Amino acid sequence: MKNKSKDRSKEFIVRETEILRGITEKAELFSKSVVKGIGDDCAVLDCSNEYYQLAKSSTLSEGFHFNLKWSTPQQIGMKAIESAVSDIAAMGGLPRYALISIAFPSFAKNAINDKFINEIYKGINSAAKKYRISIIGGDLTSSEKIIINTSIIGLAEKGFLALRCNAKIGDAVFCSGSLGKSKAGLELLLRGMKGASIISHLEPKARLNLSRNLAKAGVNSMIDVSDGAAFEIEKICSSSNVRAVIYASNLPVSKSTKKDAERMGEDYIDFSLYGGEDFELMFTAGKNLLPKIKKYDVTAIGKIVERKHGADVVEIVY
């Protein structure tokens, strides 16, 4: 059976990669303080002897990241913050400030009312309070659909910064929590079905506390799972010039995600590999770190090997 989920996801990721490559080639860096520009979860700026500054812009668009048929405005606001915090978490950092820009159909026929906007900000403020993020500005404008952009600024200690490009041959590949739950929830909603996975899609959570512990433990590379596990490890491998072997049977999938996928006649492995917005952490670490990290909610799912000419960057072993 043709893997439609994989094909659609891969088509989008490939196109996104092509666009980013073109942007990167034309982007000029005029400041020596830029440690890492385009190509990781956040930009990294050298701001003091002790800290790097992290900066990232994250966008949610109606019809792609959320749907008004099943998302409440408060859930939309919460998701805007959680998705941005997840990028800071992927670097091992701490979020500090955010600017929120929202475009909404204020003058369109189906105008968004003040109560709706206030509920979005209720969700934004609720999530921001949880992470002690100060909302310091933003913008409001009009559009045909709702678009929310969150620009987030954070800090990372210079000794604990986690990048995509530092995976080493011999590293084990780990993933936190469980995978495929957001994709399973979305598919249930699209089919008008009920299931435990729905809340994971509507109210995803960043793994900030865990990321801090992993960064301090000394993991070599890290990324958050926003586009799907298979594509995230591919980004790590491409940045680190290595290859990964991932064992599908080792992927962490919850009982409820398996149950929901089976009820729909879908493959939960497919959901875990190619479904996005789980906001879990994928990282690589030397085997010497296992005693430090085994106490956390993480699972070993593969290994990093030497990259060979002509071979796929990521091999999925079923």
pLDDT band at 204 (very low <50, low <70, confident <90, very high): very high
Q: What is the CATH number of domain 164-317?
A: 3.90.650.10
Q: Do domains 31-157 and 164-317 have the same CATH topology?
A: no
Region 129-149: mean pLDDT is: 95
- Which range has the worst mean pLDDT, 83-87, 181-185, 188-192, 226-230? 226-230
pLDDT above 80: residue 96: yes
CA 318 – CA 190 distance, rounded (Å): 28
How high is the pLDDT of residue 2?
44
Edge-to-edge strand ranges of the sheet holding 34-36: 34-36, 43-46, 51-61, 147-157, 94-104, 134-142
Fold that domain 31-157 belongs to in CATH: 60s Ribosomal Protein L30; Chain: A; (3.30.1330)
Are 208 and 85 within 8 A, CB to CB? yes
How high is the pLDDT of residue 110?
53
pLDDT above 50: residue 1: no
pLDDT band at 105 (very low <50, low <70, confident <90, very high): confident
CA 228 – CA 233 distance, rounded (Å): 9
Over the stretch 259-311, which tens digit does the pLDDT of each residue have? 999 999 999 999 999 999 999 999 999 999 999 999 999 999 999 999 988 78
- Which range has the worst mean pLDDT, 7-11, 16-20, 46-50, 237-241? 7-11
CB-based contacts of 224, cutoff 8 Å, min separation 6: 41, 86, 87, 89, 90, 206, 207, 232, 279, 280, 281, 282
Geometric angle at alpha carbon 69, from 63 and 74, rounded to 5°: 90
Domain boundaries, the chain: 31-157, 164-317
pTM for the structure as a whole? 0.91
Average pLDDT of the chain, as a whole number: 92
**Is the Cα torsion angle 312, 299, 175, 155 positive or negative in sign?**
negative
pLDDT above 70: residue 6: no
Q: Which residue has the higher pLDDT, 2 or 9?
A: 9
